[in-house]
Amino acid sequence: MKNSRILVMTIPAVAIVVAITVTMVHAKENVLLRFNFTNGSEPQNALITDGQGNLYGTALGGNNCPNSTYGCGIVYELSPGSGGEVTEKILYAFTGNADGSAPSGLAFGKDGNLYGTIFSSPDGVGGVFQLKRGRNGKWTETIIYSFNSRIGYYPGNQLAFDASGNLYDCLLYGGSADDGLVFELSPHANGTWTVSTIYSFVGGPNDGSRPFGGVVVDSKGNVYGTTENGGRFNNDGTVYELSPSGNGTWTETILYNFTGRNDGGYPLSPLTMDGSGNLYGTTTFGGANGGGGTAFELSLTNNAWIETTLYSFNSGAADGFQASGLALDGKGNIYGTTLSGGNGCNLPGCGIVFRLTPQSGQPWKETILHEFQSAGDGSEADRQILSAPAPFLDKTSGKLYGVTPYGGGMFGYGTVFEIEP
């Protein structure tokens, strides 16, 4: 399974306790939207933007559809007003019929349409949908691919397009060994799509299993992601690359095998790629400070991938633990949220918003920008959530935007928040 183009270096972690460098600042938090079920509930995926100041997201439930007690979910748009307020527009409310329900990841295609995944479809196990805007401004939903139990199910929470308009994501279950797979959807001029399984995971010491976080794609069409399990050390997960071979086949390379020790284990959140092709992500367990997970970087240096643990979170502590996917600001700083931790509510805490800053010759410094409360400003503490949604960083304004799946008011259906670091 090794790709001859690069050398992959996996270095087992050494049991060393690293000093935690944490600063608390009181950044201004604004709750832009409180979900009330009618307008959606339980937003569990990252926001995206159209580049014109509008934000888009999905809510897993809500909207009072007749086919589900919990609601069938929505796709929504948030538009800024002149006075700083925002307006929510429900672009599409799922009915749980032929259109499916429970939307998850979301991405813009080159055609200007929105694409996302659903956990429930007419076939029962989800699919990929397209939202197309008509001349009247109304969005029309089409399921372009339905999963089934023979293929796989439970999609990752981050879709990605390549330069040719092909769409990629992963499935947690399915494939030749039922250890998960990565698929490609290729568009045709007549509006139809062709699906291909480009890789099936087999688990064990030589491969990953259970890809959960979704995928990223580089400018050459290589696909990157993480697996929750599998790998050379203790079944603690991997980072992988899938490279097209030009004849329709793909080659997998395991870039890193987690050990579950200082480097962490069980990566659940999506990867983020910088302009140089370096990869950033988080693990939910392990690390050098109490097992609260890590933030890491994988960099390609002299044709070899090198893993660096940037920060180890302390389980049960104020600095947060079980972190989300990460956002980069172009100045070397990293931003994220955590599922738990902080002093905003009772243990294990309702989560935080953090910034990681590199220090010359020293461990990275964590700055806590906000500690979530259990009520008004949202909470990410519910244990049913597998990974905290990554924040979106507006590099023009420097503001962070994100969602909390719970909290935010009397009924606790979640929020959209803004942080001004």
- Report the CATH number at residue 151: 2.120.10.30
Number of domains in the chain: 1
Average pLDDT rounded to a whole number, residues 134-148: 91
Question: What is the β-pairing status of strands 362-371 and 392-393?
Answer: unpaired
Average pLDDT rounded to a whole number, residues 210-239: 95
The overall pTM is greater than 0.95 = no
The reply to whether 16 falls in a domain is no
Closest residue by Cα to residue 202 from 245, 164, 242, 231: 231
Closest residue by Cα to residue 272 from 311, 215, 323, 346: 215
The reply to whether 321 falls in a domain is yes
pLDDT at residue 146, as a whole number: 93
The reply to whether 249 falls in a domain is yes
Q: Which residues form the domain of 108?
A: 27-420
Average pLDDT rounded to a whole number, residues 112-124: 90
Place of tokens 């949908």: 129
pLDDT at residue 15, as a whole number: 35
Pairwise CA distance, residues 94 & 117, whole Å:
12
Tens digit of each residue's pLDDT (9 = 90 or more) over 320-330 = 888 989 999 98
The reply to whether 5 falls in a domain is no
Tens digit of each residue's pLDDT (9 = 90 or more) over 198-213 = 999 999 999 999 998 9
Rg (CA), the chain: 20
The reply to whether 147 falls in a domain is yes
The reply to whether 1 falls in a domain is no
In the chain, % helix, strand, coil (3-state, to 5) comes to 0, 50, 50
The reply to whether 224 falls in a domain is yes
Tens digit of each residue's pLDDT (9 = 90 or more) over 49-60 = 998 999 999 999
